[in-house]
Structure 1
Amino acid sequence: MLTGNMEGIGFTLALGTLRVLAFIYDLLTFPVYVLLQRPWQQRQQARKIKGFVVSVESDGSKKGDVAIEMKDFTNRFVDTPSTINNNNYKAQPITQDTKSITYRSTMQPGPLHIALLREKVDTMVKMMDFVSKKYPNKRCLGTREILGEDDETQANGKVFKKFNMGEYRWKTYSEVNMLASNFGKGLRELGCKPKENVVIFAETRAEWMIAAHGLFKQGIPLVTIYATLGEEAIAHGINQTEVTTVVTSYELMPKFKKVLAMTPKVKTLIYMEDQLKQLEKTGYREDIQIISFTDVLKKGKVSSCENCPPTTNDTAIIMYTSGSTGVPKGVVILHKNLIATLKTFCDATDIYEQDLMIGFLPLAHVFELLVETVCLCAGVPIGYSSALTMIDSSSKIKKGTKGDASVLRPTCMTSVPLILDRISKTIQDRVSKSSDLKKLIFKFSYDYKSKWMRRGYETPMINRLIFGPVRQLMGGNIRLVISGGAPLSPETHEQINNCLCVTILQGYGLTETTSCACVQDFNDKSYGRVGGPCTICEIKIINWEDGNYRVTDKPYPRGEILVGGENVSAGYYKMPDKTDEDFFEADGKRWFKTGDVGEVHDDGVVTIIDRKKDLVKLQAGEYVSLGKVESQLKTCPLVDNICVYGESSKQYCVALVVPSQPILMELAVKIGLGEKTFEELCEDPEMEKAVMNELAEHGKRGKLEKFEIPHAVKLVAEVWSPDMGLVTAAFKLKRKDIQDKYQCDLRRMYAS
């Protein structure tokens, strides 16, 4: 008892000391920080209106007026974006019996946007020519050299192959442009023709970008297929687009020993070489021509073929979706779609010539492709990496050597929420295993930083002393993370912002809208929102009666999101019925029905609150948003991944949970099951009950309703990866595939 009291007294003294030190520090530094940081400017920028109402459609199909409230005026009507520049505007619809509201950005085009317009850049070919003339001798694309592969014995006696890594080797802008031209001409020498599709099926790397621009220069549509897709999905994309030539990599070539049997029209395989190994060409279909990437470049270098540049309305990419709701669909993206998104990304992202980007997300996803293209436009070098070599502790990095991030020291990167969730949980895990004093210091520092950040201040001393070691995980220089692909939970957003000392810009878009719809403002310090409308498109909110979402809802309009503008794709490849169902023309624009449900705040910023396909109506009539519940429960330290399932004939939902192994083992010790293996714990009913209780408590803290919290769980020992076909390359759940695989477990949970 005395020991407990002493510990409590020590804790109180330590906390009191920290508060006194912080108070003295604030007194001494506050005037300096006020002068240097000018927080009022940041607060003013954060409060500014990001979107305003341009039209309101009533139930009588008439265009309603739009009121813009101003501090000194009321009922002032506007109809042009040029008049919406005052930070005190608040967009409000006049008509209350409305069925849709349309919003437009208040942001002005930036210098890069204007430069692209001035230079009449309307295709990806003109973009590459423009930047190669602007930055001819600047570093462009970098690949880290692999010097060798060594055996490394682990603590358990097992031996693994590890890379002996060198430095990054760089190609300049003029070299990349020349190599792209040579690759395109080399394809022509191999029989490829303009307007005839060619597939790129490869991991993210410099050769991927060079090959893509080579195709663009010859007016050859690029078909992208995720490197993580299964054989049947690969064959589907190849057969539907009727390609005869596939560009792939050394690592993925073995897949074609089976895929070629399902793709009779393929005649040529071009592979990007491995740095250490030679390709063994046996075991492939006998009539297949196999040629290296380097040999194609050599053919193009001596070719007399001329470039065959596309027009702005030509197809640039047929990009296959990740297939989260069924068979992957080929989205037809025109050059004008890509350039439109490029312009708006240039407006929204604060990327400068002095920056350095690390590229690792799939280039087969339009989000990564466009962000990297923004970097090219801004003269920012891109160094390529992978999950196997990114950080010092990555699986292929030799002990005592540096990962890619430590060598490259990037300042900006892209990410998806699942990766950020895992970083967040790693931080939580490290803190939980530290001493009580370190936990106290960390929590005090975190709360201290959060308080001053909300006021518009930076905390350089805290950043250096407390969060500096965490920043070193990604090289120590990261300042900007652009997140897309799925909603990012507010808790993860805030924690990564604080602990990595970065700004996370969250965006919203779909492949069908060329990854563009909304982007968070750089000065917006709120969490859980995806930003205002982008500069080249409009956002329309329409009533969704089945889900009980209406634009007349209070306090904010809610409904299905429609996106209209030059970024909206031409439709789905060879799927006219599906194209007509999801796309339409109105008001001189092309529109896409996203199926996502959003609400628009007074400052014109959008929050994604639901998805039509994720909504389940339970037996008692309550609606459960599966995505919303998953997003909240995924922040629980116990959860590595989760899929919530509900049936309309049942009164509750259930969940399949991929648990975090170390946290589950800790919980097992607490409940007396510490002697069991991880796999045994995942099959133990007592463990399932304990996890379910933890999720229920976490859900209550996250303000989930009782009917939203799963009443039964099944623990899944295997981690869901894109290779298994249960999540997409962007780590979104493939619900149908998951439900099919675990059908017996779902039935058991409901039966119990």
Structure 2
Amino acid sequence: MDNYIKEEKTSLQSVEVPGAPEIPGEGKPRRNASSPDKLIDFPPGATTLYENFLHGIIESEGGNFLGHRQINQGIAGPYVWESYPEVQKRVANFGSGLRKLELDTKGILGFFSENNPQYVIGELACYQYNFILVPLYDILGIEAIEFIINQTEMKYCLTTANKARILLEMKEYLPTLKVIIISDEFDHDQDLIELAQEVNVKIIDFNTVENDGITNPIEAINPKPEDIATISYTSGTTGKPKGAVLSHKNFVSVIGSTNFLAEKGKFPKITKNDIHISHLPLAHVFERTNESIIIYHGASIGFYQGDILKLLDDIAELKPTIFVSVPRILNRIYDKVMASIKSKGGASQLLFNTAYNAKKNGLQKGHVDHWMWDKTIFSPIRAKFGGRMKTIISGSAPISSEVMDFLRISFSADVYEGYGQTENASGLTASQHGDTSSGHVGPPQACTEIKLVDVAEMSYTSKDKPHPRGEICVKGNALFQYYYKSPEKTAEVIDKKGWCHTGDVGMWDDLGRLVIIDRVKNIFKLAQGEYIAPEKIENVYQKHELVAQAFIHGDSLQSSLVAIIVPDPETLLPWAKNNNLGNYNYQELCNNSQVKKHILQTLQKYGRANGLKGFENVKNIHLTHEQFTLQNNLLTPTFKLKRHQAKIRYQKEINEIYSEIS
């Protein structure tokens, strides 16, 4: 092991593509060092997601597949399991039942549901019968759901009863929707049945569709690798969502990459004995890809109850070996453990800190284990999380080095950070086994190649020393085909040479690992994965009479937005006079805590009234009397905010107002 770690710390993890030409304004493409001469496409035995399932059935040897907790009088019981062979029958029956409902091959089936076994059974039926899966999810908003259903001309949708009601109440605006299949109990809900009749939508029970498939079996027409597996909509820009069209090959190539890297000792090896807890939304590609990898190896998937506040209880019951999550949840685990240690204080806290620092020093040498501290200090922490967690993967948004170190120290687990997008089936980069350093997202997946293209206006170039920098552009087997019915949006992202421009700015470090350092466009993610368009929010706030100028900032290691606000003196001074602050001048008012509190509360209320979602409203502000101008280099000649320069100028204030939130 020590020899491996030593090699990992000194060996390049990515290399330039052999024979790649020098092109002005961009660096040479790089590939994973384990596969420099070719991009991996398929894992052994699977070229589609249906074949991926068949492979998992064989690997499982009849073992557990889908597990859920039965809820009796509000109390969750133990996990109840269905085996791979049992699920295989249900998948075929449900797919056959969908065909009897006249859902055609390559027809669209919507999914609007929390994670549950029926979701996966329906998903696998799509893969077997060559239907196209189109997820819907609440966070995009009602307008986006309406847009997706109408753009895809969706006729059939698999939902839970609570989501079905949303669709039925929207039916006036959904002319194509004809059939809703409900995966949970609804027989007792006469109002729902009557509402469906009023709007002329057929609602049918999931089990009824299965039973129809048993009595009227219809042979499946299996997909080919190039067939569409899903149209996954993303809210990555302002305006209407975009539907990324992903093929079976796109997904399976990521499975092929992770399998290939595992065989090379660069990624965790998954076996039929592993257990994954499904809690990230299956509507997102990240979780769909993760579960497809789990399925390939015949491992088990247990679903959480659907309440994120009860996730830790589900983990303790399930005892998973694999935990794939996002920074928001991993940060919560970190905060919970650290708060518990701090509350004990005294000798307990001192002993924990001693053990923690000792293991942190060990990380620098590539060690995640300690013969004494693991048994005495960290075993109780691991026990609260089931005691068997061996692999932790973070994705969707950046995670701090502090939390990554905490996970390695506390769980003695292999901890990985990945980077991906919907447009690439989440298969761009991943850190490698044995690499215990943080602050990077690893080398390219073996199915993908990456190059950095100069962003001159932000002073990022492929010639930068000591590390090349630029916009991250990707190509390979995981790359999506196009945006559904949107050739102009496709052309904005995929250039004429077939490279996808991510909008993220990256840097290659000394070992050929990618570091995410900025965004090209004025769009960024918060820690929980929501995309933010700051100009939209600034335009809302600047309409308020108290605001002259606004700079919205979101740190992807934070879960909320903050703002630098220039108050309008013509409005602020009269307000101050009417609120016993008339003795203060404009600059003094900008430094006054009472004024800051008033403006913050006013903007939060104003934002809600003007349609800002909860995560779009700022949580804290800093007031400044200095205008953004051409002279101080905060405005362009066309009077647009120079966001990059504003971030540099106000970094100290941004850090302070974030610390006030925490």
TM value normalised by structure 2: 0.78
DSSP-derived class of the 2:193 partner: coil
Q: Which of 284, 288, 310 in structure 2 is aligned with 1:369?
A: 288
DSSP-derived class of the 2:27 partner: strand
Cα distance change of structure 1 residues 405 and 44 upon mapping to structure 2, 3 Å threshold: same
Q: Deviations over 1:714-749 (max 9, x none)?
A: 79999x99xx9847xxxxx6xxxx2xx569x97987
Q: Structure 1: which 5+ residue stretches go unaligned?
A: 1-37, 58-62, 65-94, 150-162, 395-402, 619-623, 635-640, 651-683, 691-711, 728-732
Residue 434 (structure 1) aligned with residue 397 (structure 2): no
Contact 1:390 1:405 in 2 (8 A): no
Contact 2:331 2:403 in 1 (8 A): yes
Question: What is the Cα deviation at residue 337 of structure 1?
Answer: 0.7
Q: Which of 121, 126, 139 in structure 1 is aligned with 2:51?
A: 126
Residue 171 (structure 1) aligned with residue 78 (structure 2): no
Aligned to 2:170: 259
Aligned to 1:502: 413
Aligned to 2:504: 596
Distance 1:446 1:364 in 2: 37
Contact 2:161 2:186 in 1 (8 A): no
DSSP-derived class of the 2:320 partner: coil
Aligned to 1:424: 334
Contact 1:597 1:612 in 2 (8 A): yes
Q: Does 121-130 or 599-608 show the bigger shift?
A: 121-130
Q: Deviations over 1:261-284 (max 9, x none)?
A: 221110100011149976742323
Contact 1:101 1:542 in 2 (8 A): no
Residue 139 (structure 1) aligned with residue 64 (structure 2): yes
Distance 1:143 1:136 in 2: 20
DSSP-derived class of the 1:467 partner: helix
Question: What is the Cα deviation at residue 591 of structure 1?
Answer: 2.2
Question: What is the Cα deviation at residue 528 of structure 1?
Answer: 1.4
DSSP-derived class of the 2:415 partner: strand
Q: Which of 32, 51, 61 in structure 1 is aligned with 2:14?
A: 51
In angstroms, what is the RMSD of aligned CA positions? 3.5
Corresponding letter in the other structure for 2:60:
Y
Cα distance change of structure 1 residues 124 and 449 upon mapping to structure 2, 3 Å threshold: same
Cα distance change of structure 1 residues 714 and 465 upon mapping to structure 2, 3 Å threshold: farther
Q: Which of 295, 298, 301 in structure 2 is aligned with 1:379?
A: 298
Distance 2:55 2:419 in 1: 28
Distance 1:350 1:293 in 2: 36
Question: What is the Cα deviation at residue 572 of structure 1?
Answer: 0.6
Aligned to 1:453: 363
Distance 1:600 1:297 in 2: 51
Contact 2:564 2:624 in 1 (8 A): no
Q: Which of 159, 180, 195 in structure 2 is aligned with 1:283?
A: 195
Corresponding letter in the other structure for 1:106:
A
Question: What is the Cα deviation at residue 341 of structure 1?
Answer: 1.3
Question: What is the Cα deviation at residue 135 of structure 1?
Answer: 2.8
Contact 2:474 2:500 in 1 (8 A): yes
Aligned to 1:300: 213
Q: Which of 74, 86, 100 in structure 1 is aligned with 2:27?
A: 100
Q: Which of 610, 635, 653 in structure 1 is aligned with 2:518?
A: 610
Question: What is the Cα deviation at residue 551 of structure 1?
Answer: 0.7
Corresponding letter in the other structure for 1:541:
L
Aligned to 2:478: 567
Question: What is the Cα deviation at residue 250 of structure 1?
Answer: 2.4
Cα distance change of structure 1 residues 688 and 142 upon mapping to structure 2, 3 Å threshold: farther
Question: What is the Cα deviation at residue 129 of structure 1?
Answer: 2.1
Aligned to 2:256: 343
Cα distance change of structure 1 residues 344 and 714 upon mapping to structure 2, 3 Å threshold: farther
Corresponding letter in the other structure for 1:266:
L
Q: Deviations over 1:589-608 (max 9, x none)?
A: x4211000000012110000
Corresponding letter in the other structure for 2:86:
E
Aligned to 1:270: 181
Distance 1:625 1:459 in 2: 44
Q: How does 1:183-222 map to 2 (within 5 A)?
A: 183-222=94-133
Distance 1:170 1:52 in 2: 44
Cα distance change of structure 1 residues 507 and 118 upon mapping to structure 2, 3 Å threshold: closer
Distance 1:460 1:276 in 2: 57
DSSP-derived class of the 2:382 partner: helix
Q: Deviations over 1:222-243 (max 9, x none)?
A: 1112244422221111111001
Q: Deviations over 1:566-595 (max 9, x none)?
A: 110011111110101111353xxx421100
Corresponding letter in the other structure for 1:367:
F
Cα distance change of structure 1 residues 547 and 169 upon mapping to structure 2, 3 Å threshold: same
Contact 2:564 2:621 in 1 (8 A): no
Distance 2:518 2:180 in 1: 42
DSSP-derived class of the 2:473 partner: strand
DSSP-derived class of the 1:443 partner: helix
Distance 1:716 1:276 in 2: 45
Q: Does 250-259 or 179-188 show the bigger shift?
A: 250-259
Distance 1:481 1:233 in 2: 33
Corresponding letter in the other structure for 1:523:
G
Q: How does 1:526-675 map to 2 (within 5 A)?
A: 526-586=437-497, 590-614=498-522, 626-627=553-554, 630-631=555-556, 634=558, 641-645=559-563
Distance 2:293 2:618 in 1: 41
Corresponding letter in the other structure for 2:8:
Q
Contact 1:351 1:375 in 2 (8 A): no
Q: How does 1:505-524 map to 2 (within 5 A)?
A: 505-524=416-435
Contact 1:513 1:569 in 2 (8 A): yes
Distance 1:210 1:585 in 2: 39
Distance 2:442 2:171 in 1: 44
Q: Deviations over 1:154-206 (max 9, x none)?
A: xxxxxxxxx22222111111222221111111111111101221111111111
Contact 2:562 2:618 in 1 (8 A): no
Cα distance change of structure 1 residues 139 and 194 upon mapping to structure 2, 3 Å threshold: same
Question: What is the Cα deviation at residue 326 of structure 1?
Answer: 4.0
Distance 1:612 1:169 in 2: 47
Q: Which of 311, 324, 334 in structure 2 is aligned with 1:414?
A: 324
Distance 1:381 1:451 in 2: 35
Distance 2:77 2:451 in 1: 51
Corresponding letter in the other structure for 1:296:
V
Contact 2:150 2:174 in 1 (8 A): yes
Cα distance change of structure 1 residues 597 and 56 upon mapping to structure 2, 3 Å threshold: farther
Q: Structure 2: which 5+ residue stretches go unaligned?
A: 262-266, 524-533, 539-550, 568-590, 628-662
Cα distance change of structure 1 residues 625 and 520 upon mapping to structure 2, 3 Å threshold: farther
Cα distance change of structure 1 residues 373 and 132 upon mapping to structure 2, 3 Å threshold: same
Q: Does 534-543 or 222-231 show the bigger shift?
A: 222-231
TM value normalised by structure 1: 0.69
Cα distance change of structure 1 residues 631 and 193 upon mapping to structure 2, 3 Å threshold: closer
Contact 1:229 1:725 in 2 (8 A): no
Distance 2:111 2:278 in 1: 17
What is the percent sequence identity of the aligned residues? 28
Distance 2:625 2:342 in 1: 35
Question: What is the Cα deviation at residue 534 of structure 1?
Answer: 0.8
Corresponding letter in the other structure for 1:576:
P
Contact 1:350 1:522 in 2 (8 A): yes
Distance 2:10 2:299 in 1: 30
